[in-house]
């Protein structure tokens, strides 16, 4: 089949092109493509970006205040907000940075930077960027996670820094992490303008606010040190289980025991984190690294949102010791494990097929694939494969389904009395449904008729016969 591509000027055009491609057999017009992003956004879209960047830190603060000051009751916090008015509410309750939290956080950032630079790891080359660059990464995330964990436990055992100190200084850390996330966003934006690593992979939307939110550079680097991988894979992911353990230590301090639900929540988070690091080379081909530019979402998100929202269950359990019967905790764990198994095997199938050029077996049979091709901005043509069997023959985003089941189980650990510990599930479900739709439009722009053919073969996005 001849290589044909679709222009990607805006989401609307993509949406209509997509519908057209799906509903007819007519070929899609070929044109020059810089697949992936809208080139220009409207002023309204720019203002929405500003609103989003203002709302997210306030939401993080609000969630923290709910847990700290309102016994995790969203209703009570909302009543107070309504009574005081938003300005007075946030003036009264917003956590402030403290010296201890500031120094501790700077130490954390430097320690993670040191580990990412100094620890050994294999060098992996990521898929071509839209600008035609193939960047290599030192993949040493698992080593850095192990060293971080051993360091945290050792410092606690020798009584230099108790494991519970993160939880005890949580207010100050929430404040500092927000400030750092905003500074990292501004750094990324400034670097994108003044000293880009790969100028061809920059994107300017015409809106300052949209550029800040969605980023200018795709993979900003200082020398060979990659800022995006550091921010997500070190500052963010490495903090997850450490924060969990700290809140478990706090629960122990308060109640003299650690509940089975706390153990299950931490076990699930640990499996997810270790999986992420074991498969770090796979992560280089995901949307985060390959397609999303380094703006507020990927600079502030891993610094402030991830630590606050991904650990909402353990923060909640530290002060609300929900203790389910053991069989119940075990069932939640097993369902979570099943979700993880779908997530992992779906991601593995896709990775394996592309790595082996489909010379492999999926569920005991030769994989069914569509041979695709796409162009990059340098005019280069690249071949690719779209897997149509295994999990990818049932729905078009099976890995998201596994992830959503998994996050549901982390919420179940905290029972059903409060909304707060369900935030991670709500966030993941919203993010992944939105991402599935966004990815569909992008894949159509990149793979053109080949993607349309995939949609014809595999009809469902996430749930067979439903969606
Ligand atoms: P994917 O790993 O599914 O990557 C999507 C890309 O895969 C597409 O853009 C396309 O890229 C390629 N692709 C799509 N369909 C096929 C197919 N049938 N055969 C071969 N290649 C295909 O998504 P993400 O990068 O969003 O997520 C990766 C994982 O991370 C997921 O499991 C997700 O659940 C998880 N995740 C977790 C988050 C968290 O915070 N915990 C946040 C976001 C994601 P190409 O351009 O190469 O063709």
What is the 338 CA–ligand 1 centroid distance (Å)?
Answer: 19
Q: What span, in angstroms and rounded, lies between the C-alpha atoms of 59 and 305?
A: 9
Q: Does residue 269 have its Cβ closer than 6 Å to ligand 1?
A: no
Q: What is the pLDDT of residue 38?
A: 62
Reduced to 3 states, what is the DSSP secondary structure of residue 50?
helix
Q: What is the pLDDT of residue 286?
A: 87
Please give the sequence-ordered ranges of beta strands (E in DSSP) within 182-306, or none if there are none. Answer: 221-222, 225-226
Specify the ligand 1 atom closest to the Cα of 287. 25
Residues 6+ apart with CB under 8 A from 402: 339, 340, 341, 342, 343, 344, 346
Q: Is residue 259 part of a domain?
A: yes
The domain of 278 spans 95-323
Mean pLDDT of 407-416: 94
Mean pLDDT of 125-143: 90
Q: What is the pLDDT of residue 378?
A: 72
Mean pLDDT of 154-169: 95
Q: Is residue 125 part of a domain?
A: yes
Specify the ligand 1 atom closest to the Cα of 447. 48
Q: What is the pLDDT of residue 9?
A: 31
* Of the residues 276, 294, 323, the one at which a domain ends: 323
What is the 120 CA–ligand 1 centroid distance (Å)?
Answer: 27
To test the pocket of ligand 1, the residue of 370, 439, 449, 460 to mutate (highest count of ligand atoms within 8 Å of its CB) is 439
User: Which of 87-101, 168-182, 275-289, 416-430 shows the lowest per-residue confidence on average (mean pLDDT)?
Assistant: 275-289
Q: What span, in angstroms and rounded, lies between the C-alpha atoms of 430 and 437?
A: 11
Residues forming a β-bridge with 381: 375
Residues 318 and 334 occupy one common structural domain: no
Residues 257 and 354 occupy one common structural domain: no
Residues 368 and 296 occupy one common structural domain: no
User: Is pLDDT above 70 for 1?
Assistant: no
What is the 368 CA–ligand 1 centroid distance (Å)?
Answer: 19
Reduced to 3 states, what is the DSSP secondary structure of residue 245?
helix
Mean pLDDT of 404-424: 95
Tell the residue nearest (CA) to atom 27 of ligand 1: 286
Strands 381-387 and 369-375: antiparallel
Q: Does residue 275 have its Cβ closer than 6 Å to ligand 1?
A: no
Which residue do the tokens 């159509």 mark? 444
Q: What span, in angstroms and rounded, lies between the C-alpha atoms of 174 and 305?
A: 9
Specify the ligand 1 atom closest to the Cα of 372. 48
Residues 118 and 206 occupy one common structural domain: yes
User: Is pLDDT above 50 for 2?
Assistant: no
Residues 181 and 292 occupy one common structural domain: yes
To test the pocket of ligand 1, the residue of 435, 443, 451, 456 to mutate (highest count of ligand atoms within 8 Å of its CB) is 443
Residues 103 and 249 occupy one common structural domain: yes
Q: What span, in angstroms and rounded, lies between the C-alpha atoms of 249 and 254?
A: 9
Mean pLDDT of 296-303: 97
What is the 431 CA–ligand 1 centroid distance (Å)?
Answer: 13
Tell the residue nearest (CA) to atom 7 of ligand 1: 286
Residues 183 and 319 occupy one common structural domain: yes
What is the 357 CA–ligand 1 centroid distance (Å)?
Answer: 18
Q: What is the pLDDT of residue 291?
A: 87
Mean pLDDT of 276-284: 92
Q: Does residue 403 have its Cβ closer than 6 Å to ligand 1?
A: yes
Q: What sign does the dihedral 63-69-73-77 (CA atoms) show?
A: negative
HSE (CB half, 13 Å, CA atoms) of 441? Answer: 19
* Of the residues 323, 350, 367, the one at which a domain ends: 323
- Report pLDDT digits (tens) over 304-321: 999 999 999 999 999 998
Tell the residue nearest (CA) to atom 44 of ligand 1: 432
* Of the residues 323, 340, 360, the one at which a domain ends: 323
Q: Does residue 235 have its Cβ closer than 6 Å to ligand 1?
A: no
To test the pocket of ligand 1, the residue of 286, 304, 395 to mutate (highest count of ligand atoms within 8 Å of its CB) is 286
Q: Is residue 459 part of a domain?
A: yes
Residues 6+ apart with CB under 8 A from 240: 269, 273, 306, 307, 310, 311
The per-residue DSSP string of 115-167 comes to HHHHS--EEEEPPPPTTS---EEEE-HHHHHHHHHHHHHHHHHTTSS-TTHHH
Q: Is residue 63 part of a domain?
A: no
Specify the ligand 1 atom closest to the Cα of 442. 9
Residues 184 and 333 occupy one common structural domain: no
Q: Is residue 89 part of a domain?
A: no
Q: What is the pLDDT of residue 4?
A: 33
Report phi then psi at 123, rounded to 5.
-95, 130
Tell the residue nearest (CA) to atom 34 of ligand 1: 400
- Report pLDDT digits (tens) over 343-397: 999 999 999 999 999 999 999 999 999 999 888 777 778 889 999 999 999 999 9
Domain count, the chain: 2
Q: What percent of the chain has pLDDT over 90?
A: 78
Specify the ligand 1 atom closest to the Cα of 354. 20
Cα distances from 131 to residues 209, 231, 378, in angstroms, run 23, 22, 6
Q: What span, in angstroms and rounded, lies between the C-alpha atoms of 83 and 226?
A: 46
Q: Does residue 282 have its Cβ closer than 6 Å to ligand 1?
A: no
Residues 272 and 334 occupy one common structural domain: no
Please report which confidence band the pLDDT of residue 11 belongs to, taking 50, 70 and 90 as the band edges.
very low
Residues 258 and 110 occupy one common structural domain: yes
Residues 347 and 455 occupy one common structural domain: yes
Q: Is residue 86 part of a domain?
A: no
Residues 128 and 219 occupy one common structural domain: yes
- Report pLDDT digits (tens) over 12-67: 333 343 344 444 443 333 333 344 556 688 889 999 999 999 999 999 999 999 99
Q: How many helices (H) and strands (E) does the chain have?
A: 21, 6
Q: Is residue 177 part of a domain?
A: yes
Specify the ligand 1 atom closest to the Cα of 446. 46
Q: Does residue 360 have its Cβ closer than 6 Å to ligand 1?
A: no
To test the pocket of ligand 1, the residue of 33, 287, 426, 444 to mutate (highest count of ligand atoms within 8 Å of its CB) is 287
């Amino acid at each position: 089949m001849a290589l044909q591509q679709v222009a990607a000027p805006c989401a609307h055009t993509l949406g209509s092109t997509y519908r057209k491609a799906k509903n007819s057999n007519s070929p899609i017009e070929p044109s020059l493509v810089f697949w992936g992003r809208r080139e220009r956004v409207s002023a309204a879209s720019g203002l929405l970006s500003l609103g989003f960047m203002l709302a997210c830190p306030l939401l993080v603060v609000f969630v923290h205040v709910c847990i700290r000051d309102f016994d995790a009751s969203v209703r009570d916090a909302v009543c107070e907000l309504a009574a005081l008015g938003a300005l007075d509410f946030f003036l009264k309750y917003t956590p402030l940075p403290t010296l201890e939290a500031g120094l501790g956080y700077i130490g954390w950032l430097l320690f993670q930077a040191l580990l990412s630079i100094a620890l050994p790891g294999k060098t992996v080359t990521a898929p071509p960027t839209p600008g035609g660059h193939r960047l290599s990464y030192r993949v040493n995330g698992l080593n850095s996670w192990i060293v971080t964990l051993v360091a945290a436990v050792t410092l606690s055992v020798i009584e230099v820094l108790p494991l519970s100190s993160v939880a005890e200084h949580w207010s100050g850390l929430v404040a500092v992490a927000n400030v750092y996330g905003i500074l990292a966003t501004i750094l990324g934006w400034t670097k994108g303008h003044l000293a880009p690593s790969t100028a061809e992979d920059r994107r300017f939307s015409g809106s300052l606010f949209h550029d800040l939110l969605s980023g200018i550079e795709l993979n900003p680097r200082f020398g060979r040190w990659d800022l995006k991988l550091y921010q997500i894979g070190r500052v963010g992911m490495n903090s997850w289980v450490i924060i969990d353990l700290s809140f478990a230590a706090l629960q122990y301090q308060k109640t003299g025991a650690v509940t089975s639900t706390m153990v299950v929540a931490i076990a699930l988070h640990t499996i997810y984190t270790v999986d992420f690091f074991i498969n770090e080379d796979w992560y280089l081909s995901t949307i985060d690294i390959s397609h999303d530019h380094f703006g507020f979402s990927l600079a502030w998100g891993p610094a402030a949102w991830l630590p606050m929202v991904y650990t909402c269950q353990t923060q909640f359990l530290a002060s609300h010791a929900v203790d389910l019967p053991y069989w119940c905790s075990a069932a939640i764990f097993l369902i979570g494990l099943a979700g993880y198994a779908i997530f992992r095997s779906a991601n593995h199938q896709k990775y394996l097929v592309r790595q082996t050029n489909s010379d492999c077996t999926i569920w005991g049979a030769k994989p069914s694939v569509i041979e695709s091709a796409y162009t990059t901005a340098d005019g280069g043509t690249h071949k690719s494969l779209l897997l149509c069997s295994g999990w990818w023959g049932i729905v078009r985003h099976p890995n998201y389904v596994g992830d959503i089941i998994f996050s549901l189980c982390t919420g179940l650990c905290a029972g059903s009395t409060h909304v707060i510990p369900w935030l991670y599930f709500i966030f993941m479900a919203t993010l992944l449904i939105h991402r599935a739709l966004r990815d569909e439009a992008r894949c159509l722009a990149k793979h053109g008729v080949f993607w349309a053919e995939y949609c014809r073969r595999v009809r469902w996005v996430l749930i067979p016969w439903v969606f």
